[in-house]
Amino acid sequence: MTQLIESIGATRAWSREQRGAGRSVGFVATQGCLHEGHGALIDAAKSRDDVVVVSVFVNPLQFYPEGYAAYPRTLDADVELAEARGADVVFAPSVEEMYPGSGDPGGLAAMTKGVDGADDGVFVSARSVVEGAEEAVPLIRVPTRLSMKMDGKLHPWHFDGVATVVARLFDVVAPDRAYFGVKDTQQLAILEAMNGWLGSEIEIVRVPIVRDPDGLASSSRLSQLDGAQRKRAARFVRAFLGVQKRIDSGERDMVGIARSIRDHADVVGGIGVDSIDIVDPLTLEPVREIVDRAVVYGAYVIDGVRIQECVEVSVGGG
């Protein structure tokens, strides 16, 4: 039976006990509202590690205040899914538990907004104070060479929040391996770079994208779409899913492919494209003409719901 643990101390004690008994610990970090994509991460962890911890924590540092308030919270269902997939522990801390003395979560959600990343090319440890809070919040600043690409051009502070909470979770759970989906291209590249900066011995495992029957990459935010909106999204995503076939047919111009994906949004209608980026999966540098492999990433909005899409492509990928 899956244990629900809400305190950092109890989670640390449980993890120490497992490692002391010679068991490897796998970790899946989530914000809840679990779906089949998260299930695949748990499955991957179960296949390699003896025990698995799933965290459920809506992290205010990576949201606008209104987004933080609106994010779906479904802890009972999350525990049920985690148990069905064989997770041993769900770690579901409060904001106060994760950021002691930091005050109102809405204040945390507003704290770093509008701030660019660290500008010296490396990760930086900092501390920021929410108005009225008792304690400063430790914050990891992501260098602009990573944060100011792709989605980060619109809100680089988001990745400071992601890096901060994942580093905190790594410290609490102390896993042998942590499992992340490749759909979150920029986030994964940043976390891998941060893990190296921390000197961590945790192995980060990349897990392939899970798609729903209509072709959409599994995402918590899809639950906010009605049937008609979802059909629009599925029509738009066909442009992403067709990129590998275009490369197999001899196309190499990634700039032209990105332009055609934007054009397809206009054909579908009701799609607001935030960004279409075709990048190297590790450096996030733009790929203009593909010679090896790339990630085709897009962020788009349907009636106020922002969704990410991603496909991995390669020359000779089939």
Catalytically active residues, by annotation: 38
Q: In DSSP terms, which residues pair with 128 in a beta bridge?
A: 137
Residues 6 or more apart whose CB falls under 8 angstroms from that of 41 comprise: 28, 30, 179, 180, 181, 207
Angle CA 89–94–100, to nearest 5: 120
Residues 6 or more apart whose CB falls under 8 angstroms from that of 176 comprise: 24, 25, 26, 49, 202, 203
**Helix/strand/coil for 38:** helix
Residues 6 or more apart whose CB falls under 8 angstroms from that of 282 comprise: 189, 192
**Taking the alpha carbons of 100, 148, 207, 222 in that order, is the dihedral positive or negative?**
positive
The DSSP call for residue 63 is S
The DSSP call for residue 2 is P
Residue pair 309/217 in contact (Cβ under 8 Å)? The answer is yes
Residue with tokens 């008994």: 21
